[in-house]
Structure 1
């Protein structure tokens, strides 16, 4: 793959980015609404990915990537949450974070831990961009700092 160029709309990286965004939205829905993983994955794959809903077009996404993030976060949440908690500032608890920020950090931490084939810089940048899509204040900086700290723990071999 070459550098980021949006003139190729079906590039795998773009589909992965769309999958990451959809995964964050799905994890948020599960966190807030208590929806189960099988139900949420089926809903997104059938009705959202690549579809238009209420005037919002959901980008075509790599469904396998989406599924692996959502199911992996659900499966590994007991390991991911302490990692995130340890990377937060001392006086912050994971439960105090906005549900969307929690979803972003869980998805990003899962990818850093499990997807060693994806460079740290790509993962951190993608999730910071997702944070910027939802927040204008300090949240993108928080996402960047926390994922960077976690990357230093789980990815010592590839810092760029």
Structure 2
């Protein structure tokens, strides 16, 4: 994974959330165990280090990270169904790469936050995160799935305002 740009704590939080959700799915550990491990061992800089050694995310906003991860786990069934409904019938949700599943869950969790940033900001941020994790066609798939999720969870933000043509 490419390094998040220094000075972008919200982006760093999103990267860390994807990593934590991936780890949680792979290890089967509880969300609180994973959040605690990340806060204690992966977020923040070790004094005298360059910052990103061994999977560290030095600039992450811990509050946002924790909120995304906890909400993604709490809403996982709904978020997984939302993604599954957008996939072709011959492509079951479980066929998605586990990092991709984690990314979509994190993005869906943030899109579900009524007090979060505008949907288009969330889409752009997670598309950037996808480009950091994947070099193939996955970011294009992420774009389509995130668009579906955003329009489902925050449809009002996508409605055209103005006079309809007569």
Counterpart CA distance in 1 for 2:136 and 2:110 is 24
Which residue, out of 7, 13, 16, partners 1:19?
13
Counterpart CA distance in 1 for 2:75 and 2:55 is 31
* Aligned counterpart, 2:48: none
How many Å apart are 1:96 and its aligned residue? 0.3
The answer to whether the 8 A contact 1:105-1:143 is kept is: yes
Matches within 5 A, 1:112-127: 112-127=111-126
Give the number of aligned pairs: 150
The answer to whether the 8 A contact 1:84-1:109 is kept is: no
1:138–1:106 Cα change, 3 Å? same
* Aligned counterpart, 1:36: 30
Gaps of 5+ in 1: 1-5
Matches within 5 A, 1:59-98: 59-98=58-97
1:143–1:42 Cα change, 3 Å? same
Deviations for 1:65-109, whole angstroms, at most 9, x for unmatched residues? 101111111111111111111122332111000100000011111
* Aligned counterpart, 2:138: 139
Once superposed, what is the RMSD of the aligned Cα atoms? Answer: 1.9
How many Å apart are 1:29 and its aligned residue? 0.4
Gaps of 5+ in 2: 46-50, 160-166
Name the TM-score, length of structure 1 as normaliser: 0.86
* Aligned counterpart, 1:49: 43
1:153–1:56 Cα change, 3 Å? closer
How many Å apart are 1:48 and its aligned residue? 1.1
Counterpart CA distance in 2 for 1:17 and 1:89 is 30
Name the TM-score, length of structure 2 as normaliser: 0.83
Deviations for 1:45-79, whole angstroms, at most 9, x for unmatched residues? 11111234645552311111101111111111111
Q: Deviating runs (4+, > 3 A) in structure 1?
A: 52-57
